[in-house]
Amino acid sequence: MSMPDPQTRLLFTDLLGLSHGKTVPSTRAQHPTHYALTVMLQGLDREFIELKGYSTDVGFPDMEARLDEASLRPSWSGGEVAMTNLHFSDGRPLPLCVRSRLREMIERWRARDLEPLCGIEMEFYLLSGQCVADGPLSVPWHRVYGTGPGADPSGLIDEIAAACERAGIGMEGINSEFNPGQVETAVSYREALDAADAAFLFRELAREVALGKGLGATFMARPFNDSVGNGMHLNVSAAAPDGSNAFVDTDDAQGISQVCRWAIAGLLEHHAALTALFAPTVNSYKRLRPGMLAGYWATWGLDNRLTSVRVPGQRGQGTRIEHRTPDGSASPHLALLGMLAAALDGIERELPLADPVFGDAEAHPGTDVHTASSLGQALDLLEQDSVLTEALGPDLTTVFVKLKRDEVDRWEQSLTDWEVNTYGRVY
C-alpha cells in the first residue's frame, strides 16, 4: 500500500487571532498562488463589515499567503504546518497582516542592536463538552498545580503535551491552574515572532486535540462567573549583539539595566492605551478588574503578581519583564506588537521610571492610572495613542477599531441572562 502524500497546513492569523489558511500537498507548499479573499482577515465568525479598500469597493481582490519557511514544523495532526505572510497579488505587503507588522516592530528593535526575546504563558479551561456552555471539565480531585489523572481525569492535558512535542511547539510545562478545569502552560523563551506563532499554534492545537476527544478548550478571558479568568502573560527581554541579556545589570541594586527600566516606563506610559490590544473582547472586562491578578493598575514590581508589569525573581539570562494584562482572547501577534511598541517608546525617549510597588499593589497601587473599563473606552484610548497606531499602521488601526466597535454595538443591543434573571423577577 502506498503512503498518502504529505500535506502542509498553511496558516495565517486574522485580526482576532483566529487561524485561516489552506491545507495543500507539501510539494505545493512553495507555490505562490494560495489565494484567499482579503475580507477573510476580519475573522470569519463576524458579521460582514464593509471595509474601504478591502472589500466591495475594490471587488474583493485576491491576496497571497506566502509561506515563511522558517516557521515550517511537523503538525500535531500529521504532515506539516507553517505560518504565512500576506501580500497583495502584485507582491506588495498587505497592511492588515498582523504577523508582518510584528516583524517590522522586531526590526525596529534590531536597528537598536536589541533582539527581543519572548516566552508566553497561556491559561485556558478544559470543557466537559465542546462549548463553554457545557461548563468546565469536572475534576473531582482538583488542586492547583496538579498533574496526572487527579488534575485531569480525561487525560487531555497529557495529550496536549504530547501533541506539542510532535509539533515542536516548545512547551515548558503544563499543570492545572486555580479553578477546576483550568490549565496553564508556557511556550518557551525564544525570538519574538516565533513565540507569537507558537502561542497562536498552541491555541489551535489545544482546541483541536480537545475536539478529537469530544471535549473543548477555551481561552476566553472570563468564561465562568464563579471562576477566575484566563491570562496570557507576555515575558519579554532583549539580547545584546554578544548574546548577553540587555535587561541585566549586575551592578544595579535590583539587577536590572537602564534599558529594562526605560522599557518598563514605556509600558506604564501606554498602559491604558494598550488595553484594546491586550483585552480585545467585551468579555475581557469581566476579567480585567482590580483584585483579579489581571494587570489592572499602571504598576510595576519585583516578583509581585499584584502588579501589572512584573520583573520575576530570576536574574542573569532569566531577567525579564512579564506583562500580566493580556488575556487568552488576545491575538498573540497584536498583543506582543503593542508591548514591544510601548517598551521601545520608553527606550527611545529614555523615560524615567518610578520606584516599584511593594506588597498589596492591587489595594495600594500608588497610582490612579489603570486599564480601560470597557472595550469601547479601550478603542478610544488606542485611537488617541500615536505610538500604538503608528506601530499598527493606519489601515490596521482603522479595520481593528471598526471591527471591534461593531462587536461593542452588537453586545450593547444584546439582552443577557443576567438582565432577564435580575429584572425579570421584579419589574
Looking at the Cβ atoms of 184 and 345, the one nearer to Mg ion is 184
Looking at the Cβ atoms of 109 and 125, the one nearer to ligand GLU is 125
* Neighbouring residues of 363: CB distance < 8 A, sequence distance ≥ 6: none
User: Applying CB under 5 A, does 184 fall inside the site for Mg ion?
Assistant: yes
Q: How far is the CB of 194 from ligand GLU (least distance, A)?
A: 23
Q: How far is the CB of 352 from ligand GLU (least distance, A)?
A: 28
Q: What is the DSSP string of 61-127?
A: -EEEEEE-GGG-EE-TTSSEEEEEEEEETTSPBPTT-HHHHHHHHHHHHHTTT-EEEEEEEEEEEEE
Looking at the Cβ atoms of 108 and 305, the one nearer to ligand GLU is 305
- Using CA of residue 176, residue 311, residue 299, residue 306, what is the dihedral sign? positive
Q: How far is the CB of 184 from Mg ion (least distance, A)?
A: 4
User: Applying CB under 5 A, does 269 fall inside the site for Mg ion?
Assistant: no
Binding residues (CB under 6 A) for ligand GLU: these are 123, 228-231, 287, 292-294, 305, 324
- Using CA of residue 302, residue 193, residue 189, residue 183, what is the dihedral sign? positive
Cα separation, 261 vs 355, in Å, equals 10
- Can you tell me whether residue 405 is helix, strand or coil? helix
Q: How far is the CB of 283 from Mg ion (least distance, A)?
A: 18
Looking at the Cβ atoms of 306 and 399, the one nearer to ligand GLU is 306
Between helix 332-349 and helix 192-212 the angle, nearest 10°, is 160
Looking at the Cβ atoms of 269 and 362, the one nearer to Mg ion is 362
Q: How far is the CB of 382 from Mg ion (least distance, A)?
A: 26
Q: Are 117 and 237 in contact (CB under 8 A)?
A: yes
Q: How far is the CB of 325 from ligand GLU (least distance, A)?
A: 8
Residue 351 binding result from ligand GLU, Mg ion, none, given CB thresholds of 5 to 8 Å by partner type: none
- Can you tell me whether residue 303 is helix, strand or coil? coil
CB atoms within 10 A of CB 303: 12
Residue 408 binding result from ligand GLU, Mg ion, none, given CB thresholds of 5 to 8 Å by partner type: none
Residue 305 binding result from Mg ion, ligand GLU, none, given CB thresholds of 5 to 8 Å by partner type: ligand GLU
CB atoms within 10 A of CB 372: 23
With contacts defined by CB under 5 A, how many residues of the chain interact with Mg ion?
Answer: 1
* Neighbouring residues of 281: CB distance < 8 A, sequence distance ≥ 6: 220, 221, 329, 375, 407
Looking at the Cβ atoms of 95 and 229, the one nearer to ligand GLU is 229
Residue 307 binding result from Mg ion, ligand GLU, none, given CB thresholds of 5 to 8 Å by partner type: none
User: Applying CB under 5 A, does 327 fall inside the site for Mg ion?
Assistant: no
Q: What is the DSSP string of 344-366?
A: HHHHHHT---PPPP-S-TTT--S
Of all residues in this chain, which one has the CB nearest to ligand GLU in the complex?
231
Residue 229 binding result from Mg ion, ligand GLU, none, given CB thresholds of 5 to 8 Å by partner type: ligand GLU
Residue 9 binding result from ligand GLU, Mg ion, none, given CB thresholds of 5 to 8 Å by partner type: none
Q: How far is the CB of 60 from ligand GLU (least distance, A)?
A: 39
Which residues sit at the interface with Mg ion, rule CB under 5 A? 184
